[in-house]
Structure 1
Amino acid sequence: MTSPSPADDDRGCLRLVLAVPLVLLTLAATSCCWAALAIRPSGPWDDDAYAGIVLACVLSVGAAGAVVGVWLVPSVRRVMGWWWVGPAVLAGGVAAVRWVTGG
């Protein structure tokens, strides 16, 4: 029998450590996306609601971009599958559509 290489032994721990920022950023992206979708302006004069929608969309797209940026690092991509980025990219995409359509 051969023992696993030291690099394989660390992958579980490395995956757990790298999952923390990815999960936190994904939660930020999805919660900001939810806020962008939940805010309903009272009318065309409601500038504060429109500003809130834009802010929530910008934060959601930014957090999704940060998730992609972290995942693009080769050492992270090696241990984290592409599906770790999927929910954040989806939330960022929905927020971008909400931002473009203007509510």
Structure 2
Amino acid sequence: MTSTSSSDNDRGCLRILLAVPLVLLTLVAVSCCWVALTIRPSGSWDDDAYAGVALACVLAIGAAGAVVGVWLLPSVRRVMGWWWVGPAVVSGVVSVIWYVAVG
């Protein structure tokens, strides 16, 4: 007969609790990156489109930074693997590259 310790049960609940902000911030980062990549300015005179690209890139970079910031907390790192921050980091890097290329 085996018994599970309460820390194992708490770890599952903690993982679900910590996954919520990480997933939501990752969705924000990925969606803002997608918006930045899909906005196409009509020409060099289209300042509004360029401002939209810049805003979407900055929001994606900020959300990706927030994901990394939350993940760097020792209690979060202990429960969540590095793959939880992978999509956010990739979208943040793509947004930086796109911001530099378009900006």
Does residue 1:87 correspond to 2:103, yes or no? no
Does residue 1:41 correspond to 2:36, yes or no? no
CA distance in 2, matches of 1:23, 1:9: 21
CA distance in 2, matches of 1:38, 1:32: 10
Aligned ranges 1:1-103 → 2 under 5 Å:
1=1, 3-102=3-102
Letter matched to residue 68 of structure 2:
V
- TM-score with structure 2 setting the length: 0.95
Report the Cα offset of residue 37 of structure 1.
Answer: 0.1
CA distance in 1, matches of 2:7, 2:100: 45
CA distance in 2, matches of 1:10, 1:84: 19
**Identical pairs, percent:** 75
Report the Cα offset of residue 2 of structure 1.
Answer: 5.3
Report the Cα offset of residue 36 of structure 1.
Answer: 0.2
When the two chains are superposed, the root-mean-square deviation of aligned CA atoms in Å is: 1.1
CA distance in 2, matches of 1:75, 1:8: 14
In the TM superposition, what whole-angstrom CA distance separates every residue of 1:13-60 from its partner, at most 9, and x where no partner exists?
A: 110010000000000000000000000000000000000000000000
CA distance in 2, matches of 1:9, 1:52: 45
CA distance in 2, matches of 1:4, 1:77: 22
Report the Cα offset of residue 3 of structure 1.
Answer: 3.0
- TM-score with structure 1 setting the length: 0.95
